[in-house]
Amino acid sequence: MKVLLINGQNHKGSTYHIGRILAEKLTPPEDIDEIFLPRDMPHFCCGCTKCFMESESLCPHYEVTKPLTAQMDEADVLIFTSPVYVYHVTGSMKAFLDHYGYRWMVHRPESKMFGKQAVVISTAAGGGMKPACKDIADSCFYWGIAKTYRYGLAVHAIKWSEVSAKKRQQIEKKTDQLAAKIKGRAGSVRPSLKTKGLFKVMSIMQNRGFNPADKNYWEEKGWSTRGRKPWKDK
C-alpha cells in the first residue's frame, strides 16, 4: 500500500507525528512518501483561471505541481496534516488545495481519486479542528475520493514534546482504529452514494456543457455521453 503524507507545514510537530504514526501502521517506510508545504510548493494561486478554462498545464506553477500530482495519483492513501491556524488550515495547505480546484467534480476530476482513501488530521492547542479538517475534506470530497476520515485533536500543547502521555495513548488508540478501517477497505473501496449522486448531477451538467475544456474531458472519458463511471475505469 502506497501512502503519501501531505503536510501543510514544514516542521515535524504534533500534527506531522500523528500522520507519520498512522502511515507506519499502514505500510513499511519505503512505501511512505512525504510532501512538506510550503517547501515543496511555495506558490499562491495567481487567479489566472487557465487551469479551469484551458488546461492545468498552463498554470504558471505547473512544473512545481506536476511531480506532486503524480505522487498523489500513485498513492493508495493520502494523509493530509495541518495544524490549526486561526481556526483553519495553514495558508500553505490552502495554497496547495487551490492549485487543484480544476480537479473538482464540477471541472475535471481524476479517475484514480475515486479508488482512494484519505485521512485529514488536524491538531490545535484548544479548538478549530472541525473547520480545519473541513477545509481539506471539502477538496477530498469534490475530487471524488472514495472515503475520507477526519481526525481532529486538541493536543493542549504548542510542541510535540509537550503532548502528555495520556494524549499519546489516545493517539495510539485512534491511529490503530483508523489503520484497521483503512486496511479493511484497501483494494475494494468504492465512493459513497453522495459522491455517486454528485457525479451523476455533474455528468448531466457536463453533457450540456458550458466550459469546453471540461465538456471535452467528460466526453472523452465517456462519463457524460456513454454512461461510464470513473470508479469503474481501468
The binding track of 73-112 with respect to ligand FMN, each residue x by CB under 6 A or -, is: ----------xxxxx-------------------------
Owner of C-alpha cell 469534490 = 142
Give the nearer residue to ligand FMN in terms of CB position, either 17 or 147: 17
**3-state secondary structure at position 86:** coil
Grid cell listed for 114: 475515486
Position 14 contacts ligand FMN (CB under 6 A): yes
What percent helix, strand, coil does the chain show, rounded to 5? 50, 15, 35
Owner of C-alpha cell 475520493 = 145
Give the nearer residue to ligand FMN in terms of CB position, either 123 or 195: 123
Return the amino acid letter for 81: T
Give the nearer residue to ligand FMN in terms of CB position, either 50 or 88: 88
Give the nearer residue to ligand FMN in terms of CB position, either 170 or 225: 170
Give the nearer residue to ligand FMN in terms of CB position, either 41 or 89: 89
3-state per-residue secondary structure call for 25-48: HHCCHHHEEEEECCCCCCCCCCCC
Report yes or no: 37 and 96 within 8 Å, Cβ to Cβ. Answer: yes
Tell me the closest approach of the beta carbon of residue 33 to ligand FMN, in angstroms: 19
Tell me the closest approach of the beta carbon of residue 143 to ligand FMN, in angstroms: 24
3-7 vs 147-154, strand pairing mode: unpaired
Position 22 contacts ligand FMN (CB under 6 A): no
Tell me the closest approach of the beta carbon of residue 11 to ligand FMN, in angstroms: 6
Number of residues in the chain: 234
Which residues, 112 to 131, sit near ligand FMN by CB under 6 A? 123-128
Give the nearer residue to ligand FMN in terms of CB position, either 128 or 191: 128
Half-sphere exposure of 143 (CA within 13 A, CB side): 26
Give the nearer residue to ligand FMN in terms of CB position, either 161 or 188: 161
Grid cell listed for 73: 495519483
Grid cell listed for 153: 485533536
* Residue of 3, 6, 8, 15 interacting with ligand FMN (CB under 6 A): 15
Tell me the closest approach of the beta carbon of residue 163 to ligand FMN, in angstroms: 8
Spatial distance between the Cα atoms of 165 and 223, rounded to a whole number of angstroms: 51
Backbone φ and ψ of 119, nearest 5°: -130, 130
Tell me the closest approach of the beta carbon of residue 120 to ligand FMN, in angstroms: 14
* Residue of 46, 158, 180, 201 interacting with ligand FMN (CB under 6 A): 158
Q: Which residues bind ligand FMN (CB under 6 A)?
A: 9, 13-16, 83-87, 123-128, 155, 158-160
